[in-house]
Structure 1
Amino acid sequence: MVYKAIAATVLLVGLSGCEHTHSWAQRFSFLASAPPSAEQFDFNWQLSGAREVAPIQLFSTPDQIWLQFAPQQTLPAIFALDAGRHRVLHYQRSEPYVIVKGNWQQLLFKGAHREAQARYASPAVSPQAHPAVSSFSDANGSVLTQELAVAQSTEPSAARQLYPDTDLDVLAEPAVASFDLSSMPFRAEPSDRTLRHTLKRWAQREGWEFQDQHWELEIDLPVVSAATFSGPFNQAVEQLMRSTALGSRPLQACFYSNKVMRVIALAQSCDPSDHRTVAAQG
């Protein structure tokens, strides 16, 4: 009987402890961070510049910016204006968006000698009173606006896709501080997924032509870790090619006077009319 009484006492103490623990957990459960609600998305951004390198829409939360680019669009280099200087931003993919961290007020998108800019415009009135507006400025300085349909009902609404119907070519150059993009290092990122996409991004930045048909291999090589390469475009590409030398498929890049680049197997010749390597392999 004594043992049973002791066991019952221990059980009651244990249950009491569990009850207090459960109550404590409920009391502090609000400390868990909640995901942003639809009302926290801020669409008060204005776009200007070349549409080829600009996102089709962007919006922000207090600590990050969400960008959506057109399908198959090569991502440009993304910079933030920070105390008068341009700072390279690293991004993460969360399809169909590209996310950059930080509460930036001005972004610059640059690639293939074209650039676009995004500026945050503080709303003059409550954002619930008017639909959010994303706009592009044309060469004459007038603003072409596209309204984003933000839900006016009480039902939560995520960001709506913006597909502008205005076809703009080269627009006015944004008034931003000048800087030498050629001094920026070249980076291979796991977000590129493949070496081919890394090279497409680099080529677009430097005004070179490199499309899928210029990757003359049957398979893609994955990018599994980040790496930085310095020097001019040609040297950075050659450094990247040398990193494949110890693999099963060593590569080389071919540069032509019309600013076209090809990537071929190391055993092949960069001269398209040279068939000696093909004959040797046969």
Structure 2
Amino acid sequence: MRSCQETIRDLEKNLETRKQEEAALLNEIEVTGQAFEDMQEQNSRLLSQLREKDDAHIKLMVERVKLQQSQKVMLDEKTVLVQQANVLQEQLDAQVMMNQKYEETISLLRNSVHILEKELSMMHQTLDAHKRKTIESAQTSADLKLHLDRYHAQLKEVQELVAEKSEALEKQNFKNRRVQEELKNLNRKLERMRKLEMASNKDEVLLEEIREYKEILRCPACKNKQRDAILSKCFHVFCYDCLKSRYDSRQRKCPKCNTAFGQSDMHKI
């Protein structure tokens, strides 16, 4: 009987120990499970961050390829613009030299006209003096009259030549102004290309370019309204109100090149 009681006590002690071990084991399992859940949650976050980084990396690679393509296009455009600017500059230099030759020719012709006018004046004086002479000087007077007529004819020819050269010079100057305007526009384009290459904020450069284009579209006379009319005489463009105002006030010359125009030369565009 006593032995059975001791055995029971030992079993009860073992049972209590087993229960404590079981409780500790259950607690450890619970802690381990929570740690496992935390680790799974952390792994999920890390996987999400990794996917986001991969997406961002792919997006950056695509943007880089687009930027490289855009830079290549801009470099090609810049090369073309530089070539056009060089060609226009060469044309402008040649036209400037031609203008100088025209001006020298006109200067020489004007000097000739001045000399002929002086000689003509002297001939008039001599003719008047000889008219007062006797009949003996009649032949001399006739000769002087012949010379005078000849000088008149020469003077008329020189004056016509001066007028022709002056008109040619005016046309050449108009061509020069057109070339200078084209060269100025090309230089503005080149400057915008350089700014676009160097600028960190492309939007600011594009906004500046839009502002410049709007400025080009404004009437150069009033600086306010949009260009909507052209002069067929010189092909300069202004707003129709400015041209109509100049026509009505009898200031019927182009505000840019001073070419005279009539009502039939004004056309809306």
TM beyond 0.5: no
Of Structure 1 and Structure 2, which has the larger fraction of its residues in strand?
A: 1
Of Structure 1 and Structure 2, which has the larger fraction of its residues in helix?
A: 2
